Amino acid sequence: MGLNYYHIKKNVLRARKLVIKSTSLAGSGHPGGSFSMAEILGCLFYKFLKFDPKNPSWEDRDRLVLSKGHAAPGLFSNMAVAGYFPESEMESLRKFGSKLQGHPDLKCPGVEFCGGSLGTGLSYSIGIALAAKIDTKDHHVYTIIGDGESDEGQIWEAAMTASKYKLDNLTAFLDRNFIQQDSYTEQVMPLDEELTGNNISEMWKDASRWKTGDKWRSFGWNVIEIDGHRIEQIELAITKARATKGVPTIIISRTVKGKSIEHMEDNPQWHGKAPDLDIVPLINLELDSQFMIAPSIIAGDMTNLANEVKRCASGRADYIHLDVMDGKFVPTKTFDHSKIKELRPLTVIPFDSHLMIAEPVKHVRDYAEAGSDIITVHAEVCDDSSFGEIHDYLKQNQVGVGLAINPDTDIPEWSYKFLPTIDQLIVMSVVPGKSGQKYIPETHEKMNKITSILQEQKFTGYIEADGGVNLENIESCFEDGARAFVGGSAIIGKPDVRESIRDFRNQILKARRKTLIKKAHQLGGAELVNKWIGLHVVGEKKDQLAKIAKEEKLI
């Protein structure tokens, strides 16, 4: 089974939007802590949890306990997406008589724990896990605790108890976002090392400061430390936790409070604060503008692709693009599924296999079994029947489905019925199979046309720009609608992959900020532009936004 990468990402986006909608309508709530655990909940709900929304009390279900109960909008939104109740019911959050209150409550079918006072969820989870052991049940208990509530002594009493009773059916997540209600955790009661300034990124970047894992190990727990926003790392950590016997596991997840919304990120003000209604459209646009960068390893040393994969991993690529060419559909030949299988153990970063091959329906199983997390085939060598077979097989095996079109190809009409469930569409901006080409300028016009078609057909995936993408044209590609960017010589061809990816990200961020500033002006003129800029109080974001607004003559 694949990673289910795109399915999780799309549902996480839906859940984040519901958090924003519900808290803004309520005028209160906790979006920051809901967003820091968003990918954790996404992996649990759409990959691991055994549950039945039509039978919430199913005896053999897994249990999910949200100890940091103030982040209830994050839990409720995922329950809505998972089918426990209509998504429209999120509009009742915190309203009198609603089952969706400010903290989880058992009045809401599917909720396992009344989360009020912090620090108690882990103790409650131990009771459930111990009961399951006594009753010889095989369901698993997952608990999400906050780093702020880890100031509570009860957390550590519970930690000793779980270890004593060898509760290997219990997996806890520590949402380590470094912010609690009043300030940064390391300035209130350090779990790692005391933070003397306000640069929270220091805690993320310097692993020598991370002491929390040692504390939990000393209490007898199996400890796994991850980036809590990387789906592939969360998936591997849960898999390892479930395979660990004789001890409970805690997954220390380094996260960002308010993740995905720049003015909320790492900002203590957004611990418990709802967005104003007039900025909700801007927040939704920012959520829709999340992007990914994928190096294409064939632009590197083809004699040592293993090293190129390692460079992508150390460079923090979002995923790795694998161009498979068979010498038939395109004149060039690269590698096949056997090479992908060989490279797969080197990293957990998702593999995006772009099959530039004839008759892909005959080979797609090989590429899925080799470890591809996303597989894209070309429209030019498919029809309704063959693509339908590919689509259904990949969906059944939790592999992302992609369709690619060459520079001189339009989206075929037979593909329209698949567009609502396709995960990515690659719009080639060079002729595939020929190296050293420049970006075809006419692709910009084509991309704009395609974006309109995709909106009409309810496409919810990512448009991927592939071919000749570099720092000079990536801003235009973003404006065209691309949200995934393949970089060949512009990334892998550079000596420092991490720096190249960072340069790509900064250029896209600039384009996204410009888009948001323009949208703010469209919706509310200079007043809303200034309000939007004023929300960005952490780091240098406010100055950067103000500069863009002045350059565009919007303030």
Ramachandran assignment for 200, one of left (phi > 0), alpha (psi -120 to 50 degrees), beta (any other): alpha
Which tokens sit at 397? 């095996």
Neighbours of 6 (CB within 10 A): 24
Pairing verdict, β 424-428 and 222-227: unpaired
Which of 104, 101, 109 lies closest to 22 in space, CA to CA?
101
Distance of CA 402 to the CA centre of its chain: 18
Place of tokens 């689509």: 391
Which of 31, 13, 1, 2 lies closest to 292 in space, CA to CA?
13
What's the confidence (pLDDT) of residue 93? 98
* Order of all β-strands in the sheet with 374-378: 292-295, 484-487, 462-466, 424-428, 400-405, 374-378, 351-356, 320-325
∠ Cα 179 182 186 (to 5°): 45
CATH of domain 5-275: 3.40.50.970
Strands (E), 454-530: 462-466, 484-487
For residue 434, the SS3 value is coil
Q: Which amino acid is present at 320?
A: I
Asked if residue 484 lies in contact with residue 465, where contact means CB atoms within 8 angstroms, the answer is: yes
What's the confidence (pLDDT) of residue 208? 84
In degrees rounded to 5, what are phi and psi of residue 305? -65, -25
In degrees rounded to 5, what are phi and psi of residue 283? -65, -45
What's the confidence (pLDDT) of residue 435? 66
- 241-276 burial, b at 16+ Cβ within 10 Å, e below that, comes to beeeeebbbbbbbbbbbbbbbbbbbbbbebbbbbbe
Asked if residue 402 lies in contact with residue 424, where contact means CB atoms within 8 angstroms, the answer is: yes
Which of 290, 286, 295 lies closest to 470 in space, CA to CA?
295
What's the confidence (pLDDT) of residue 147? 95
Report d(CA 363, CA 366) in Å as an integer: 5
CATH of domain 292-494: 3.20.20.70
Which tokens sit at 220? 């007898």
What's the confidence (pLDDT) of residue 455? 94
Report d(CA 530, CA 282) in Å as an integer: 13
In degrees rounded to 5, what are phi and psi of residue 333? -125, 135
What's the confidence (pLDDT) of residue 207? 81
pLDDT for 408-458, tens place per residue?
999 999 999 999 999 999 999 999 987 678 999 999 999 999 999 999 999
In degrees rounded to 5, what are phi and psi of residue 258? 75, 20
- Dmax over CA atoms of the chain, in Å, equals 68
Tell me 60's DSSP state. Answer: T
Query: How far, in Å, are 361, 369, 402 from residue 372 at the CA level?
Result: 15, 7, 12
For residue 482, the SS3 value is coil
Length of the chain: 555
Distance of CA 2 to the CA centre of its chain: 16
Report d(CA 111, CA 337) in Å as an integer: 43
Which tokens sit at 505? 């990200």
- 37-47 burial, b at 16+ Cβ within 10 Å, e below that, comes to bbbbbbbbbbb
pLDDT for 270-280, tens place per residue?
999 999 999 99
Instruction: Pick out the chain residues at pLDDT < 50.
Output: none
The reported pTM is 0.97
198's CB contacts (< 8 A; 6+ apart) are 184
Asked if residue 72 lies in contact with residue 109, where contact means CB atoms within 8 angstroms, the answer is: no
Report d(CA 204, CA 214) in Å as an integer: 17
What's the confidence (pLDDT) of residue 315? 97
